[in-house]
Structure formats: C-alpha cells, structure tokens
Amino acid sequence: MIKHEIAVIPGDGIGNEVVPAALNVLNAAAEVHGGLSFKFTEFPWNCDYYLKHGMMMPEDGLRTLQSFEAVFLGAVGDPAKVPDHISLWGLLIKIRREFEQVINIRPAKYIQGIVSPLVNPNDFDLIVVRENSEGEYSEVGGRIHKGEDQMAIQNAIFTRKGTERAIRYAFELAAKRRGHLTSATKSNGIFHSMPFWDDVFKEVSQDYPDTRTASYHIDALAAFFVTRPQIFDVIVASNLFGDILTDIGAAIMGSIGIAPAANINLNGKFPSMFEPVHGSAPDICGKGIANPIGQIWTAKMMLDHLGHQELGQQVLDAMEATIFSGIKTPDIGGKASTQEMTDDICSRLKKL
C-alpha cells in the first residue's frame, strides 16, 4: 500500500468549499487505484487565524509543513478582514518563497461542454510556465517619503539563475509536448530586465535545437491568447506576466473557477504546493456554488507529481465527462452545486 502524507490548507472563502470537494475526489481515486491511500492533515491557517493569533501561520508553521510530501491549498485572502498584503505575504507567498517553489505550472485547454467566450476556441491546449520566485514580485522597495513627495518603488529582480531555471524547465516541458516554446517578453526598450530575459532565452535555446521557438511582447501575446490560442504549446513568462496570462487562460476556457496550478520545488528540499489559479471569491462564498473543477484539476496535477499519472488522467477524464453531461456550476452555465458536481465526478471515477 502506498501512503501519501499531504498537508491541507483550505485557507479563506471558497477554499473551504472546493478543498473538501477535491479531497473527496482524491479519496475516490485512491479507492479506484486499490493500492493507494492518503493521509490528509488539515491546518486552519487563514485570515480568521490571523485575527486570533496576529499571524497567518504559527512561527514553526513552515517546519511543520516541511515533513509532508506535498501541500494542497485552497485560496488565501479575505480583504474585508485582513489586508491582502498581510495575508498573502504571511502565508501563500511565504510558502512559495521559503519552499523554493520556483516554477508555477498552469495549463489551459479547451474543454468540451464549457462555453468559451472565444469565437473559435476549438482545441487550444497550452501550458504557461510561470517563474515563481522573483521578477516583478520582489520584496525590494516600498513606500518612501510622506506628503507631496510620496512614492512607491518596487524593484524587479531577474537573476541569471532564476531566469535560466524557468526557461530551461519550459524547454524540457515543450520537448515532452508538441515541441514549441513561446517566450513572453517586453524587450522593446522599456524594462531593463527583458533584453536580459531574451538573451538567456536565446542562449538556452541552443541546447534544444529540435524545439521551435517564438517570442512575443506580452501585450501582443495577451491579445493572441484571445484571438488565436491554438498557436501556443508551452509559454514561459516572468512572475507577473505569467500571473496575468494565466487568468486570461482561465477566462478563455470559460471560467476562472476551472484553472489549476502547481508550485514546483525542483531541488527536492521542500514539498511542492498545489493550489488553483482562482482566489477565495468572497462574492460567492457560502452559497455552495463554487466551481470545484479548478481544485480538482489541481488535485490531478498533484497525483501526476506523486507519480500517479494514469490515475491523474482518469480524474481528468471523469471531470470532463461530468462537464460534458451538463452537470455544471453556474459560472459555466449550469445549475449544479459544488457538491452535486463533485459527487458526479466521484461516481464516474468509481465506475471506470
């Protein structure tokens, strides 16, 4: 019997609705496998925890998480209670940084049965590799001066190591897929970082002569995501560019509620973390209508990461079959609840 020890942080808002849903699917998947089980250990770290304890997680929180094989997280942020910069730097970004989860993998593809806002959504299938540790998301800077001269400065930091690592990861991934890699740049003289990014991209590409490459300015690239997403296979992007592109990726699939993500630690020193692209959705929290697909597809990515690719594919198949049958939450045009959708996925999985 293979047993996986997973740390679970539902977090805020709909994280508390979609995480239990995805755990049900993971348990159903384990049953289908037969020789697999999960031990989920839940941590109540969120904005309510902050209001009680003055911090988003205990002092030794990271040390506690470190002994797990993976972290499964819902969403962090409840701006009505705690300012986002406190909750996010105190939990989500802290884990990504301290656990050196330097790559964020975010797939998007056309799913039959979900109405995409695109005129021609047919068969796009792409993965954004987002640099996840530096770039525009730097801690260097802050507000300075008061009064009339006040300003805010944020230094974008692009290290050779971090840039090359993300680009190389993306080349490796493209080689396993359709052999095409697009670089998201903005090298037209505005940001000092981007000509540097381009140089590293060009240099690393020498090691992958069989991979076709393209490079677009991020503004044009964002537009191409909408007008012709079919031209993309793998896209490599800096932290902020990747963040924005992947919400567009979610939007062209039909809802932010279905996009998955994996924060990957490459050096094996710390666990990787699996959390969907969407946030805590305070506007629909408590209604039981949150789309569980983003979290369930994220669970599929965790299964892949733990070495259960075949089972992961079965979860994806069951999920797509449920959607195709019309059992859908309101954000993708249906009337089903989170629970109804989840139950249907679990029962399809068990029938496979």
Shorter beta-carbon distance to ligand NAD: residue 77 or 107: 77
Q: Which of 25, 103, 284, 299: binder of ligand NAD (CB under 6 A)?
A: 284
At closest approach, how far in Å is the CB of 108 from ligand IPM?
13
* From the list Mn ion, ligand IPM, ligand NAD, none, partner contacted by residue 291 (C-beta under 5 to 8 A by kind): ligand NAD
At closest approach, how far in Å is the CB of 43 from ligand NAD?
14
* From the list Mn ion, ligand NAD, ligand IPM, none, partner contacted by residue 14 (C-beta under 5 to 8 A by kind): ligand NAD
Which 79-98 positions form the footprint of ligand IPM (CB under 6 A)?
Answer: 88, 92-93
Tell me how far apart the alpha carbons of residues 74 and 55 are, in angstroms, rounded to a whole number: 18
Q: Which class for 322: exposed (0-12), middle (13-18), buried (19 or more C-beta within 10 A)?
A: buried
At closest approach, how far in Å is the CB of 226 from ligand NAD?
18
Shorter beta-carbon distance to ligand IPM: residue 32 or 88: 88
**Considering only CA atoms, which of 79, 76, 107, 106 is closest in space to residue 89?**
76
Do 298 and 276 touch, CB atoms closer than 8 A? yes
Tell me how far apart the alpha carbons of residues 225 and 249 are, in angstroms, rounded to a whole number: 7
Do 200 and 160 touch, CB atoms closer than 8 A? yes
**Rounded alpha-carbon distances, angstroms, from residue 216 to 209, 219, 236:** 19, 8, 11
Which 85-124 positions form the footprint of ligand NAD (CB under 6 A)?
Answer: 88, 92
At closest approach, how far in Å is the CB of 231 from ligand IPM?
23
* Upper half-sphere CA count for residue 54 (Cβ side, 13 Å): 1
At closest approach, how far in Å is the CB of 301 from ligand NAD?
14
Q: Which of 104, 185, 272, 280: binder of ligand NAD (CB under 6 A)?
A: 280
Do 234 and 127 touch, CB atoms closer than 8 A? yes
Do 194 and 229 touch, CB atoms closer than 8 A? no
Q: Which of 100, 243, 320, 331: binder of ligand IPM (CB under 6 A)?
A: 243
At closest approach, how far in Å is the CB of 112 from ligand NAD?
19
Do 74 and 9 touch, CB atoms closer than 8 A? yes
At closest approach, how far in Å is the CB of 20 from ligand NAD?
13
Q: Is 279 in the site for ligand NAD (CB under 6 A)?
A: yes
Which 285-304 positions form the footprint of ligand NAD (CB under 6 A)?
Answer: 290-291, 294
Pairing of strands 234-237, 151-154: unpaired
Tell me how far apart the alpha carbons of residues 181 and 348 are, in angstroms, rounded to a whole number: 35
Shorter beta-carbon distance to ligand IPM: residue 30 or 248: 248
Q: Which of 134, 243, 275, 331: binder of Mn ion (CB under 5 A)?
A: 243
* From the list Mn ion, ligand NAD, ligand IPM, none, partner contacted by residue 331 (C-beta under 5 to 8 A by kind): ligand NAD
Shorter beta-carbon distance to ligand NAD: residue 204 or 249: 249
Q: Which residues contact 59 (CB under 8 A, 6 or more apart)?
A: none
**DSSP E strand boundaries for 206-267:** 212-217, 234-237, 262-265
Do 312 and 45 touch, CB atoms closer than 8 A? no
At closest approach, how far in Å is the CB of 64 from ligand IPM?
22
Tell me how far apart the alpha carbons of residues 112 and 117 are, in angstroms, rounded to a whole number: 13
Q: Which residues bind ligand NAD (CB under 6 A)?
A: 14, 18, 75-77, 79, 84, 88, 92, 256-257, 275, 278-284, 290-291, 294, 331
Kindly list the residues in this chain that would bind ligand IPM in the complex (CB under 6 A): 88, 92-93, 243, 277, 279
